[in-house]
Structure 1
């Protein structure tokens, strides 16, 4: 077992309300012959999980919050990697995590880990297979949301944390939140699943399948064995374009683009870029291939399609026992989210209430679509801050 540092600390600050300069850390476990046994029955090891921490862990290690990122996200949820670069990119939830913010690092130690199967530091298809010395590619075993959470649990155990103040995440991160509650209810004092679902609809599965087929149809995909050669950038870019459309809303796209032309006054009458929305999607696709791996896209979208809590939610009954009555849920949805619509959040709320959970629910009116939880919004910040302050003993 290895980690960059065993003591969770905070590095020098940048802006006064930022956690400042942070660094990635890694924890490696499941060394053979004690590999991680996945839901499929396959064995994987060693496994490396990349993570970041913000704030200070209390002496009793009882102030930790786990953040679960969305499927193409990473462990860089807050702070900066450089203190002297003017354009250093902040973490993806910089507006939410920090001193005095919704998730207050003056009170909590916040942990965000990169999911199993990703390409952002944790073990995934692009990692080296110790048996061959080459990237796994399609030899990487199929994993599930549950396997991602099992790997997170190994990290939390390694850090000496027995109980989490909260597990918080949006989209596929929200699925991980729910999986934590089912698998390890005694470790979760509260949960905030945002813009998520208990299981994918046929529509969501269909969009994921289109994205996967775009990658597989790229001649450079080569059955996943493209490392060191030309990558399936075109297929991955198209997959990202498809996914990006589902993250927005009709109103957001109308307001941002409408039918406005891109740097021209008339149609080109060919298949180049005419409309601003075309230019935007192509830009998003091109930018995405520079940071993400096509095989990880295949594995993570499939894992999210496999996720199904509806038949397992009754296992949450154990949280409703009298000695567990302090556990709480805050379910948040967005009015314009058509990927995981509010009716799915309400189904989750009803299922939780049937098992006796303490559940609060809020639908936020916003026209930004599914990705609204990644956009600064005082309503979301205040909801999370107030909910965390209301957790007994917190």
Structure 2
């Protein structure tokens, strides 16, 4: 499928069929689709944006529902959709239109649920590469993403080293730390041990209190203690509930409305297994194989993806540049304060 939309600053969201797909697990399923957002001039250089754990394809969104990176991507923004064509895919295994655990298995006419093949970061990238081929795109100006999205960018540069001119990796490391795996484990156990989970056969997210707890645990790692203290200041809504507790309760409820628990578990496992050194003699050897220049961006107080590891990686690659952002937002720094680091993206993108 190719798109012939005119120059536009408004996003166009569709799905592209990539046919059968062979997973790293050696399983094959047919009729795979990826949902995507496509914004900007169709004849402009293409930038692929990769989303984070609970993200989706709506990086730009629209006026009524701005996307999760609307401050960084758009007309006149650092990633300028008047100069670049920006494509964001919902990942394989996701739950916003791409084939995943909630998709219907044609052999059973029921959702795949846990019968869906295990998904790796490399599977996500290979599926997106196939989707770009279906869209008639043969080269990329850049690939960028943060967190789980950054993991995909690492693999883009190794799986298809000559396919892009630049790589931008934000808040992500060559492999996930044991600390990150530990928090993912807490979240996964909270979901799977919920009696309403029923080994993946739950009837509704709404039943899953364990999913709420998983999200709360994640939220604590995404921002710094300094930001929590500044924002909540030990304020109380009632005598028995602090404002920070109310905030976490709200985030737990909200995730159930917009994300599937099985997809969440699949993506957590993909993050745990992310390691650019797997099958490549370790991450330091893998780092020497990149062809495209790599721009890495770390954020102060990021508990999950520390500056020193990202900086060390940047020093190992043939052509790397690194920037560290001073912020109280921690890991979530990649979603805010674009005025602090957006121009660095623009300069190196252009």
Q: TM-score, normalised by structure 2?
A: 0.95
The count of corresponding residues between Structure 1 and Structure 2 is: 346
Cross-structure match for 2:285: 314
* Runs of 4+ in structure 1 over 3 Å off: 8-11, 229-232, 312-320
Find the partner of 1:373 among 334, 340, 345: 334
* Alpha-carbon separation, structure 1, partners of 2:98 and 2:284: 29
* Alpha-carbon separation, structure 2, partners of 1:52 and 1:234: 32
Contact persistence 2:7–2:42 (CA under 8 A): no
Find the partner of 2:308 among 327, 333, 343: 343
* Alpha-carbon separation, structure 1, partners of 2:273 and 2:107: 28
* Alpha-carbon separation, structure 1, partners of 2:116 and 2:53: 17
Q: RMSD of the alignment, in Å? A: 1.6
Cross-structure match for 1:73: 55
* Alpha-carbon separation, structure 1, partners of 2:6 and 2:337: 26
Q: 1:70 to 1:331 in 2, by over 3 A?
A: same
Find the partner of 2:38 among 53, 74, 92: 53
Find the partner of 1:223 among 185, 199, 202: 199
Q: 1:220 is paired with a residue of what secondary structure?
A: coil
Q: 1:9 to 1:67 in 2, by over 3 A?
A: farther
Contact persistence 2:51–2:90 (CA under 8 A): yes
Find the partner of 1:140 among 101, 108, 116: 116
Cross-structure match for 1:324: none
Cross-structure match for 1:125: 101
Offset, 1:49: 0.2
Cross-structure match for 1:170: 146
Offset, 1:98: 1.4
Over alpha carbons, which structure has the higher Rg?
1
Contact persistence 1:185–1:316 (CA under 8 A): no
Cross-structure match for 1:44: 29
Question: Can you give the 5+ residue segments of structure 1 that lack an aligned partner in the other structure?
Answer: 12-18, 269-273, 321-326, 390-394
Q: 1:189 is paired with a residue of what secondary structure?
A: strand
Q: 1:154 to 1:211 in 2, by over 3 A?
A: same
Offset, 1:251: 0.6
Alignment deviations for residues 220-252 of structure 1 (CA, whole Å, 9 cap, x no partner): 11111124x575421111111111111011111
Q: 2:196 is paired with a residue of what secondary structure?
A: helix
- 1:386 and 2:347 correspond: yes
- 1:106 and 2:82 correspond: yes
Q: 1:8 to 1:179 in 2, by over 3 A?
A: farther
Q: 1:8 to 1:245 in 2, by over 3 A?
A: farther
Find the partner of 1:260 among 225, 231, 235: 235
